[in-house]
């Protein structure tokens, strides 16, 4: 079962982030084959939002919603079930410094 794990931080966190053990987390999951890929994303100031309305394309700087939470990275996990995904996410350094959202891939018939 595949899960997208969004790594989310607050744009103005309460405390300084401690990701000193992120390499240990990555190395262990890469070696086990449970982590298929993961990347840190460029700052949200570099993102663009694309919409098409009535055949016209609109591109704006993004995100433009009023939020302090920012998706700063992602990992794709290949696990047996949701419980395993939760266990893996709970060991990620951002579980202490931010939050992690687990979203299963859609299963198509």
pLDDT for 75-84, tens place per residue? 999 999 999 9
Percent of the chain with pLDDT over 90: 54
Instruction: State mean pLDDT over 85-99.
Output: 91
Asked whether residue 9 carries a pLDDT value surpassing 80, the answer given is yes
pLDDT for 17-54, tens place per residue? 666 788 999 999 999 999 999 999 988 888 888 889 99
Asked whether residue 13 carries a pLDDT value surpassing 70, the answer given is no
Task: Output the DSSP codes for the chain.
Answer: -EEEEEEEEESS-SS----TTHHHHHHHHHHHT-EEEEEEPPPGGGEEEEEEETTEEEEEEE--SS-SEEEEEEEEEE-SSHHHHHHHHHHSTHHHHSEEEEEEPPPP-
């Amino acid at each position: 079962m595949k899960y997208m794990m969004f790594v989310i931080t607050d744009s103005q966190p309460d405390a300084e982030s401690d990701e000193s053990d992120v390499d240990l987390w990555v190395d262990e999951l890469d070696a086990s084959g449970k982590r298929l890929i993961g990347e840190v994303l460029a700052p949200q100031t570099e993102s663009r939002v694309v919409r098409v309305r009535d055949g016209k394309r609109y591109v704006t700087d993004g995100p433009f919603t009023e939020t302090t939470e920012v998706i700063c990275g992602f990992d794709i996990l290949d696990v047996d079930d949701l419980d395993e995904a939760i266990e893996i996410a709970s060991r990620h350094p951002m579980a202490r410094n931010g939050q992690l959202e687990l979203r299963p891939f859609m299963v198509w018939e």
